[in-house]
Structure 1
Amino acid sequence: MNKMNLNTLDLNLLKVFVAVWDLRSISAAGDRLGLTQPAISHALKRLREHFSDPLFLRVGHRMQPTDMAQRLYEPLNRALKIIAETVLNSEEFDPATSDRSFTIAMSDISEFYCLPKLLVYLQHNAPSIRIKSVQLDAQSAATSLRTGQIDLVLGYMPHLAEPDFISKFVLEDWFICLIASSHLFKSAELTQNDFSNLTFVEVATHATGYRMVDTYLTQQEVRRDVALRLEHYINVPQVIQNSQYAAIFPNSASQKVNANGDFRLLSIPFAIPRIDVKIHIHATFKQDSGIRWMQDAVVASHRIE
């Protein structure tokens, strides 16, 4: 290792190291840190000179860490967390005056059902706070929370568990069969045979709640005739309203779209578990009074009628 004075080792270089480690990509690290790709490459060059090691080698489209990088990651990442916690502990958060921006990952259904409730709550309690909603990606949510790329995750995410994550209950939800009020099926209840005879709209979503239902029905060998596949869940009601299709849809959002009685909400005739929708933060940021307040605000916004 180069005997360079530690005073010349910029703290931002360590952030670059951790970002490249997490994402295995120079361009993605730049996106996270708000830096250009040449800036990230220059920072890596300085790090390599300091540690006298390549640190990361390009293998295909990914940056793979060297043995030296693997030894450095844990202590450097821990040091950055200690610094971040120290700074956060020294800051006071006043929701009434703060203009802080929070990034919350959620599905399009949560944007439709949960976000309006939160915004009403914030208008009364934290009028200057800003919210950035980003698409919830179940596979990357844990890493994005840990690295601070997002502040909170709202949804059914059973893999975000203690001790690494702090989760608070927001609402219990379940899935129903949504059809138009004009649908030819007129019975009050669906039998299993009725369900299999319906024609469904499928959604290309990675939402964990929907995937749980889909997996359950597949394992039970329940036949479903799928005539249409959509990219976004929130477009389902409009399609259903003007067709003879059916859809598996969250009860919470169904109650909202059915305000004018345009739909029928039928129980799915299978023992599908209900889901707990929670608001999650990473334990690394448990001392961040702003993030903790926002987590409580999401919960509180769903307790107001």
Structure 2
Amino acid sequence: MGTINLRKVDLNLLIVFDAVYSTGNISHAARQLALSQPAVSNALTRLREHLDDPLFVRSGRGVEPTLRSQQMIEPLREALRLIRQQFDGERRLELGSYKRTFRIVIADMLEGLLMPPLLREIAAHAPQITIESRPSWNSSVTDDILAGTLDLACYVFPVSAPGLVFETICPCDYIVVARRGHPQIGAELDTETFLALEQVAPIPELRSHSTIDRDITIGGGVRRIAYMVHKAWSIPAVVGSTDLIGILPRRFAELMAPKFGLQIFESPVPISPQDYHLIWHQRNTDDPGHRWLREAMLKTLRADARSGLVPAASAC
């Protein structure tokens, strides 16, 4: 193939290429770019002619990249990032008129603490920003961020992937909660009682990135889960009115204990602490709107840490 005449290559073709590669679906790319499906297909046709390569082949309900596409995607994304960075550096983000919907996943334990002050921050400074919160149990966080269908996650997430950026926001250690006056628990909770009592716990999808089940198994026991919930915020209410016990992040349990009449116990079986992270794709690192939202979330979490709502972290 001869040298490509860059004067004949429309930059928008490369943006379309990136969107199709990210989503693996022409219709999804069209929605992401606010274009019609024929417009996206036409852009791909033009780029195929420039590069003399099909770029994508049909596969199942979407498309898969050719070898040429796989070879060019990362250099192309880096080039687009540098171009955006230069343009963004020349203009100030006008928050008052900035209109965008951010699709995010927030760990259940943090959502009720983080979102009210964050929404107040958005209303005060960027009123046309909309947040679409997606359930973590119904989302493949890694795949969705890599595909561009999820903008940001605030999550306990120990697995990394090429292209993802992590920032630790706060630590999380776990304790056991039971209702006050529980007939089978004295001043302390021993291992035998802990393993004998039935528990309320999140559904398996919500526990997929937690080490709790594994740690209890390593400790020689098995959780007797009698009731599974879709929202971890339900656990304090269930524990407070039954003989079930639960495992919760320490600070969250301390906040809920007075309201639901809970006792807090150190776990007799060691449970590994975990960190919450902000997670996003590196292509959004220099995006001014995305950067503002990340900074607003961190600002909110820092304020919560100062007030004791969430644990402080060195990164915050």
* TM-score (structure 1 length as normaliser): 0.79
- Give the equivalent residue in structure 2 for 1:269: 268
Aligned length: 302
Report the Cα distance in structure 2 between the residues aligned to 1:41 and 1:162, rounded to whole angstroms.
Answer: 28
Secondary structure at the aligned position of 1:233 is classed as coil
Report the Cα distance in structure 2 between the residues aligned to 1:98 and 1:184, rounded to whole angstroms.
Answer: 58
- Give the equivalent residue in structure 1 for 2:184: 185
Report the Cα distance in structure 1 between the residues aligned to 2:227 and 2:250, rounded to whole angstroms.
Answer: 21
User: Which structure 2 residue ranges, 5 or more long, are not aligned?
Assistant: 308-316
- Give the equivalent residue in structure 1 for 2:12: 12
Report the Cα distance in structure 2 between the residues aligned to 1:83 and 1:149, rounded to whole angstroms.
Answer: 22
Which deviates more from structure 2 when the two are superposed, residues 53-62 or residues 205-214? 205-214
- Give the equivalent residue in structure 2 for 1:204: 203
Secondary structure at the aligned position of 1:302 is classed as helix
Report the Cα distance in structure 2 between the residues aligned to 1:209 and 1:268, rounded to whole angstroms.
Answer: 20
Contact between 2:199 and 2:245, CA under 8 Å: does it hold in 1? yes
Report the Cα distance in structure 2 between the residues aligned to 1:192 and 1:142, rounded to whole angstroms.
Answer: 36
- Give the equivalent residue in structure 2 for 1:154: 154
The change in CA–CA distance for 1:134 and 1:89 in structure 2 (over 3 A counts) is: farther
Report the Cα distance in structure 2 between the residues aligned to 1:221 and 1:43, rounded to whole angstroms.
Answer: 59
Report the Cα distance in structure 2 between the residues aligned to 1:181 and 1:130, rounded to whole angstroms.
Answer: 43
The change in CA–CA distance for 1:236 and 1:53 in structure 2 (over 3 A counts) is: same
Contact between 1:137 and 1:206, CA under 8 Å: does it hold in 2? yes
- Give the equivalent residue in structure 2 for 1:226: 225
CA shift for structure 1 position 29: 2.8
Contact between 1:180 and 1:241, CA under 8 Å: does it hold in 2? yes
Give the superposed CA RMSD.
Answer: 3.6
CA shift for structure 1 position 139: 8.1
Report the Cα distance in structure 2 between the residues aligned to 1:271 and 1:153, rounded to whole angstroms.
Answer: 27
Report the Cα distance in structure 2 between the residues aligned to 1:205 and 1:58, rounded to whole angstroms.
Answer: 34
Report the Cα distance in structure 2 between the residues aligned to 1:100 and 1:59, rounded to whole angstroms.
Answer: 35
- Give the equivalent residue in structure 2 for 1:26: 26
CA shift for structure 1 position 191: 1.0
Report the Cα distance in structure 2 between the residues aligned to 1:194 and 1:297, rounded to whole angstroms.
Answer: 44
CA shift for structure 1 position 16: 2.6
Contact between 1:205 and 1:232, CA under 8 Å: does it hold in 2? no
Contact between 2:172 and 2:250, CA under 8 Å: does it hold in 1? yes
Which deviates more from structure 2 when the two are superposed, residues 288-297 or residues 15-24? 288-297
The change in CA–CA distance for 1:233 and 1:17 in structure 2 (over 3 A counts) is: same
Contact between 1:181 and 1:261, CA under 8 Å: does it hold in 2? no
- Give the equivalent residue in structure 1 for 2:105: 105
